[in-house]
Each structure stands twice: as C-alpha cells, then as structure tokens.
Amino acid sequence: MGFADIKTFENLQDDVITVNRCCACGACIAYCENQAFNVIEMDEYTPRFKTNKSVENCKECGYCYYICPQTEPLVDRLKEEHLIKDELGNIIDIFAARTTNAKIQEVGQDGGIVSTILTYLFETNNIDAAVVSEYDENFKPIPKIIYSKDDLAKSAGTRYSISSNILPLKDLTHIAEEIISHKKRIYDPDQLRIAFVGTPCQCRAIGKMKLLHIKPAHVISVVIGLFCFENFDYNKLIEILKSKTQINPSDIKKTNIKKNFFVTSKEETVKEVNIKDLDEAVRNHCHECDEFVGRYSDLSIGASGAPNGYSMILTRTEKGHSLIDSLLATGYIERYIIPADQISEWQPKKINWLKKMTSLKVKK
C-alpha cells in the first residue's frame, strides 16, 4: 500500500458516516484522541471534525478508516486471527447458564451472566475497570467506565439504542487517575486491565485495533460480545414508545424483547409494543449487518436459544473459556442441566437455531 492509497477521516465520512453506515461505536475518535491529534469528536451519534481548523490537524494516518468496523480493510485478517469460518465464528463450547447472585438476578436482562462475569473479575482483582452502558435520566444509553462491582447494578440490563462504548476509552489518563482515586495506588495508563462489553460491531472495532496493536485497545483484557439482532435510533424509539404506551422516557424502568417489545415502567406497569411498529426506528447500519452472535470476542452472550431466566454462552478463545470455567467452578454461575433425553441433540439444535437467526437477520 503506497501513501497515495491511505484512506483518511475524509474517506470515512464519504464511505461510512454520510451514507448512514456508521454504528457510532466511537473507535475512530478513541484512537485519534489517544494520539492527542485533537481532530475529531462525537456529535450525538455522528463523528465529525471538531472545527473547520481541525481538518488541518489531521495527520492523515488513516487509522480511523482501518479500525472502523464498517470498512473492509483488515476484516479477512481479523477472521483468520479469530479462526472464523462461518456465520457463528469459532465456538469452543456452547451452553446455557444463569447467575447465582440474587441481586443480579433482579436486575440482569436474562441470566445476568455479563454482570456476574464482571463481578468475578473485580472481586478476583483481574480487572481495574470495565466499559459498560448506563441510562441517563431520560432513558438514553450512555457509555460508562466503572471501577467497582458496586457500580454494576446500574449497568445491568439491555439498552436497545446505541451506547458508544468505545468512546470513553479516548482518555486513558483520566481513567488511570480515577483508578488511582479508587485504589489509592499509582497506575501506568498503558498497564490498565479493562473488560469491554459491547455489541458485535463494537467488538469488531476492538478486534481491528488489537490486530494493529494500537491504543486504546491495548488495555482491553477481555472482550464480552452481546448477541444483537438490531438497534434502534434513540429519538425515534422514544417517540414511538411514548405514543404507543403513554409512558414517559424518564418513567421507564426496563425494556426487553420477547418476540414483541415490552416496556416496564418504574411503577411496574408492563406495556407491549408490536415489534413491527419499531421497524422505522431501526438504525440504518443494522440493516446490512451480518453479525448476530458477536464473533470477535472472547465469549459472547445472549438470550436466544436459552431457557427462560438463562443466557446462552459461547466461549470462543481459551481466555474466555477458562474465565467461564472459573465462574462455574466457584459457583458464581450455574449451568442449565439439559434433560437426559435431549443431551445428544441439544447443542446441534442450538447451533442451528443461532444460524437461522443470523440468516433471518441478513435477509431482513
């Protein structure tokens, strides 16, 4: 590749952002800010030059283009690296499990597995921080770095709109300072150990960054991918939910999808919205997305295929697999016991189901 071929942020604008293919993951900005280039920022859900003058600050390094999960470069190398041969990616083991922690059972979306993994990692001092998602007062998802298991209750549960989870990694020095204030020890920002939770597209961006060994992905010690069928534009979603349920965003406690979309208010009223009514709120980039199960991760987790109250777990790397083994061995989570007469067909059936879901998503 000669210099003339290097694509820059202007190409990213043309090929991804202005044509509505951006999934607002924040990777481009997180990288650029880590280099202190002072060029781009997130305007709501749209990356853009900070000012007209900052166009001149762009070093035309091209990294933002290459690490973007919505561009072609590096995808083949990434597939090789992650041993991906089909739509589900590399699977070491697939099974259903749920948390044994009563508090997480209350707040977790499905089996509470993600929050329990993070609890374990904090309690065993295997991470200094985790990237998760919380809500603001208007039920808008906000990406968040948390530093203790005590902050996990607020982040549990699924937000069905974008949470730009890579974005807060743009300031590693600030993160290191926060960790110092929590643990009262000096930390080198480059030695941090951060767990990352995100949608498949976000995990793909982290994978591309790791492939290039660039900041800030060097501090991500474990990648937890969520299953993801689609994601909604926050403003459109709230408008439709308001008109169909008469519940104000500030009064929503939880949402979940079980065939249809369910809204639970803070007063525990549950309203059902036909999932088809939300079609117009689906973000554009999700229409062409072919990832359902988060292939570029250490382990991926979702509800699809799991019995009620459990999550499906796909372990993908030795790291992800041994992490889950430790949670099982120490009783943090418990495995779903497959009825004796279903043992031989259970796993193949689940794999077929997840393949079917992926192809449904691609055809949509």
**Rounded to an integer, what distance in angstroms lies between the CA atom of residue 197 and that of residue 11?**
28
Among ligand FAD, ligand SF4, none, partner that 165 touches (CB below 5 to 8 angstroms by kind): ligand FAD
Cβ neighbour number for residue 136 with a 10 Å cutoff: 10
The answer to whether 255 contacts ligand SF4 (rule: CB under 6 A) is: no
Question: Which member of 8, 90, 221, 248 binds ligand SF4 (CB under 6 A)?
Answer: 8
CA atoms within 13 A on the CB side of 52: 0
Pairing status of strand 93-99 against strand 311-315: antiparallel
- Taking the complex as a whole, how short is the minimal distance between the CB of residue 277 and ligand FAD, in angstroms? 17
End-to-end CA distance of the chain: 36
- Tell me how many residues contact ligand FAD (CB under 6 A): 32
What does 62 bind: ligand SF4, ligand FAD, none (CB cut-off 5 to 8 Å by kind)?
ligand SF4
Question: Any contact of residue 217 with ligand FAD (CB under 6 A)?
Answer: no
Rg (the chain; Cα; Å):
20
Q: In the 8-state DSSP scheme, what is residue 157?
A: S
**Residue of 24, 192, 223, 226 that binds ligand FAD (CB under 6 A):** 226
For residue 132, the partner it binds in ligand SF4, ligand FAD, none, with Cβ less than 5 to 8 A by kind, is ligand FAD
Tell me which residues in 185-204 interact with ligand SF4 (CB under 6 A). Answer: 199-201
Q: For residue 276, how many other CB atoms are within 10 A of its CB?
A: 9
H/E segment holding residue 258 = strand 252-258
- Tokens representing 165 are 């989870």
As a whole number of angstroms, the distance between CA 132 and CA 127 comes to 13
**Of 174-203, which residues contact ligand FAD (CB under 6 A)?**
197-199
Based on CB atoms, which residue is closest to ligand FAD, 54 or 221?
221
Contact 313, 347 (CB under 8 A): no
Q: Compute the distance between CA of residue 313 and CA of residue 1 in angstroms, rounded to an integer.
A: 40
Applying CB under 6 A, among 40, 192, 211, 301 the residue interacting with ligand SF4 is 40
Binding range to ligand FAD, per CB under 6 A, among 10-18, 33-41, 108-116, 181-189: 108-116
User: Is 362 near ligand SF4 (CB under 6 A)?
Assistant: no
* Whether residue 216 has a cis bond before it, omega within 30° of 0: yes
Residues that bind ligand SF4 (CB under 6 A): 8-9, 12, 16-17, 22-28, 31-32, 37, 39-40, 47, 58-64, 68-70, 199-201, 205, 228, 230-231, 285-286, 289, 291
Residues that bind ligand FAD (CB under 6 A): 108-115, 132-133, 141, 155-160, 163, 165, 197-199, 226-229, 231, 301-304, 311
